[in-house]
Chains A and B, each alone.
Chain A
Amino acid sequence: MGLCVSAFGLAVVALAFRATTRSESSEATVRPDLPLAKAAVPARLFPAQAAMPPALKPQQVPIELLLLQIENHVRLEQAAAESFIEFPTQALLRGKTTSPFVN
């Protein structure tokens, strides 16, 4: 009797396992027909940037924040230009600031 129950249990497990693997394989066969979102995205040097949600993309920055960034950029560039005027060297002329507009 115990042997029968064990055999039955084993059969149920086997059927369940088969059903699971079949659904996975059928998914695998369906997948190529579905639009491949990742394949559609062109290869990028910085994938993290590509995955950036629209709300954080530069063109979506609130105008107040954008104006502050521009003002900050102007101040940094002016300071860099002042340094160059005081000590005119190639290095100071090309030196980068921390402005997000140039990084």
Chain B
Amino acid sequence: MIYELLTGLTSAEVERVLELGARMIVPSGAQLFRLGGAADRLFLTTRGRIRLTLPMQIRGQEEDILAEEISAGQTVGWSAMIPPYLFTLTATAAVEAEVIAVPRQALHEYFAANPATGCKITQNLAAVIGHRLHLFQTMWLREMQRAVEVRSA
């Protein structure tokens, strides 16, 4: 399994980082975390699919609307590494999933002891966050473009 967060690390480094975490099985439909909850762990997806959703009011009732779907190898819950350490989405298993939950505290301690590895992981994390930013920025611009076209039609 190749984890995007651990790209560029040696197999020994990967093993060491994975040992910081705990394997978790998330049954289909179960929530991994909820919007607004305290984010103290990030998750490396080993198998299955995780739906990241945002609440939307539809006909007077709140519905969880898909924002992104995460599959094996991808990272979920990077809010655990960024202040104010609160989840900004809700994560639910689309099918039974297996994740490795890595506590922030353990990662910070590991980074302090192994700065070179910490630097690589932080760069990978920046890439994950940057990709999400680009994705949502583009989606937002496309929606804005359509809104402008409708208004000026």
Enumerate chain A interface residues (CB-CB to B < 8 A): 63, 66-67, 70-71, 74-75, 77-78, 80-82, 84-85, 93-94, 102
Contact = CB atoms under 8 A, between A and B. Distances in A.
Nearest to B69: A75
B138 A63 contact: no
B135 A74 contact: no
A70 B145 contact: no
Interface string B111-138: 0000000000000000000010011101
Nearest to B68: A78
A82 B135 CA distance: 7
B38 interface: no
Contact of B142 (A70, A75, A93): A93
Given A82-B135, A85-B135, A77 B142 contact: yes
Interface stretch (B7-15, B20-28, B57-65, B85-93): B57-65
B67 A74 contact: yes
Interface string B86-115: 000000000000000000000000000000
A97 to B, nearest CB: 9
Nearest to A71: B66
